[in-house]
């Protein structure tokens, strides 16, 4: 996906109203103009920022490859100085609810403007000699963040991620779910827009059955889908800064994962591998191998309960094993020794820690459970080392739950 910026004060109404952009192939004297040539470099799915009259009023997606077209008749006298043959790119435009005034954001925009063929001058005024400018992803992302409307943000930004956004395309969405039953679906309520955060469901366990009953349709919700759970979470974190999990779906998933874990260990034990290799693989699956020995050199007890009997503690990865690379999986700094009930809360994202050691709970019911277990709140478990803090930041940003809600 690439970002472009079009300056089209004269042709704005015709081009946005007609769903395209158009330029002559050359300047009036026949010389080349890179900002005209840029139309031929666009690709379907690219994002185009529309600037006219000092405002960004619309943002669109390239719908088809560039083609040679005659000058649009609707240009009227505005196009008298342009040749009759030029380039046309079809655009799916969306008008912004509230246009963006670049001059209000020049301290952010100016450092990101291209050094050549910039669409804006340093004053914040449009560059009249520039028609279609290529802009960086950084500037494009900034402008999208300033644009109101979750629909636009989801539809454009999703193309840079391994996710699919379905809006008012019920059949396409259901076809995706049926083809990817082990995938994941995030619901974003259109009515509440950015006031509500997306909720992640398991496609196979919740989303399809609900949609067949008419609930959570694409008429009411943006459906943000991916077969890659990590990619979906990263996308939601980037776009909405926060999201929730469907507890019912993920309890089913966790039960399945525990079953898969047991099946994997059984498969290892019945394989033809040498005994020593089997033992090491099983230990890695259970977190009792090299990772645990390295962890025990850093952590000596459960920070929450104070239990120091190693036999009673679980070697828990801070950044989950499934989401870590091989080095992170064996890094002792990526772990905590936790009592089983504390490990359960930490592993499922119900609790986490600040770098300074303050215990954070996802909701009041978790605080109540901890108090019933004899854990006094508020609790500080001691400052973490910088290398541990790197993994804790990931746990807070990605794993820690935000207002979990049960499907009903």
pLDDT of 159 higher than 60: no
Per-residue model confidence (pLDDT) at position 201: 84
Write out the DSSP string of 178-239: HH-TTSEEEEEETTTGGGS--EEEEIIIIIHHHHHTT-S-TTTEEEEEES-HHHHHHHHHHH
Instruction: Tell me the β-bridge partners of 359.
Output: 353
Classified as helix, coil or strand, 7 is strand
* Residues 88-104: tens digit of each pLDDT: 999 988 888 889 999 99
Q: What is the mean pLDDT of the chain?
A: 81
Report the candidate in 357, 356, 339, 346 with the shortest Cα–Cα distance to residue 399. 346
pLDDT at 242 over 80: no
**Positions of E strands within 271-372:** 314-317, 335-338, 351-353, 359-361
SS3 69: strand
Compare 320 and 403 and report the one with higher pLDDT: 320
DSSP string, 9-44: TTTHHHHHHHTEEEEESS-TTS---HHHHGGGG--T
Instruction: With cut-offs at 50, 70 and 90, classify the pLDDT of residue 336.
Output: very high
On the question of pLDDT at 116 being above 50, the answer is yes
Q: How do residues 25-40 score in pLDDT, each as one tens digit?
A: 999 888 899 999 999 9
The more confident residue out of 288 and 303 is 303
Residue among 261, 292, 256, 1 at smallest CA distance from 141: 1
Q: Is the dihedral of CA 104, 105, 106, 107 positive or negative?
A: positive
Flag the least confident range among 33-42, 190-199, 330-339.
190-199
Q: At what angle do helices 150-157 and 229-240 cross, to 10 degrees?
A: 140
Instruction: Give the per-residue pLDDT at 54.
Output: 94
Q: How far apart are CA 165 and CA 144, in angstroms?
A: 16
Residue 275: how many other CB atoms lie within 10 Å: 8
**Each residue of 52-91: pLDDT tens digit?**
999 999 998 888 889 999 988 888 776 677 888 899 999 9
Token pair, residue 384, equals 């973490």
User: If you count them, how many residues does the chain have?
Assistant: 408
- State the pLDDT at residue 20: 94
Q: What is the Cα–Cα distance from 166 to 394, expressed in whole angstroms?
A: 28
Rounded Cα distance, 3 and 394, in Å: 29
| 68 DSSP β-pair partners | 87
Q: What is the mean pLDDT of residues 259-278?
A: 70
Phi and psi, residue 225, nearest 5°: -120, 150
Spatial distance between the Cα atoms of 5 and 135, rounded to a whole number of angstroms: 7
Q: Confirm if 155 and 61 have CB atoms less than 8 A apart.
A: yes
In order of start, what are the domains of the chain with their CATH numbers? Answer: 3-146 (3.10.590.10), 164-245 (no CATH), 251-284 (no CATH), 287-399 (no CATH)
What pLDDT, on the 0 to 100 scale, is given for residue 398?
85
Report in angstroms the alpha-carbon separations of 109 from 6, 123, 150.
Answer: 16, 11, 21
């Amino acid at each position: 996906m690439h970002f472009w910026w079009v300056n089209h004060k004269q042709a704005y109404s015709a081009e946005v109203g007609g769903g395209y952009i158009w330029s002559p192939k050359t300047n009036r004297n026949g010389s080349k103009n890179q900002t005209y040539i840029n139309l031929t470099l666009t690709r379907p799915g690219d994002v185009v920022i529309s600037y006219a009259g000092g405002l960004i009023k619309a943002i669109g997606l390239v719908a088809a490859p560039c083609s040679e077209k005659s000058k649009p008749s609707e240009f009227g006298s505005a196009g008298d100085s342009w040749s009759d043959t030029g380039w046309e790119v079809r655009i799916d435009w969306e008008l912004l609810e509230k246009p963006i005034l670049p001059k209000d954001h020049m301290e952010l925009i100016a450092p990101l403007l291209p050094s050549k063929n910039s669409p804006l001058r340093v004053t914040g005024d449009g560059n009249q000699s520039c028609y279609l400018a290529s802009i960086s992803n950084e500037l494009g992302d900034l402008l999208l963040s300033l644009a109101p409307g979750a629909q636009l943000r989801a539809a454009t930004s999703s193309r840079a991620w391994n996710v699919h956004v379905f809006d008012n395309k019920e059949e396409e969405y259901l076809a995706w779910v049926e083809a990817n039953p082990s995938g994941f679906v995030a619901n974003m309520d259109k009515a509440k827009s950015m006031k509500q955060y997306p909720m992640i469901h398991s496609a196979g366990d919740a989303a399809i059955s609900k949609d067949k009953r008419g609930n959570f349709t694409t008429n009411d919700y943006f459906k943000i889908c991916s077969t890659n759970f990590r990619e979906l979470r990263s996308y939601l974190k980037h776009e909405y800064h926060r999201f929730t999990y469907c507890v019912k779906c993920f309890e089913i998933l966790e039960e399945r994962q525990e079953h898969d874990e047991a099946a994997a260990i059984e498969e290892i034990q019945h394989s033809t591998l040498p005994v020593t290799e089997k033992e090491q693989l099983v230990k890695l699956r259970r977190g009792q191998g090299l990772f645990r020995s390295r962890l025990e050199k850093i952590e000596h007890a459960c920070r929450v309960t104070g239990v120091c009997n190693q036999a009673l503690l679980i070697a828990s990865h801070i950044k989950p094993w499934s989401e870590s690379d091989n080095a992170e999986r064996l890094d002792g700094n990526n772990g905590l020794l936790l009592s089983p009930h504390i490990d359960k809360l930490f592993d499922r994202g119900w609790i986490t820690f600040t770098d300074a050691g303050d215990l954070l709970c996802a909701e009041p019911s978790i605080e109540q459970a901890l108090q019933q277990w004899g854990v006094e709140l508020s609790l500080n478990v001691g400052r973490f080392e910088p290398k541990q803090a790197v993994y804790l930041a990931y746990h807070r940003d990605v794993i820690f739950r935000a207002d979990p809600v049960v499907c009903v």
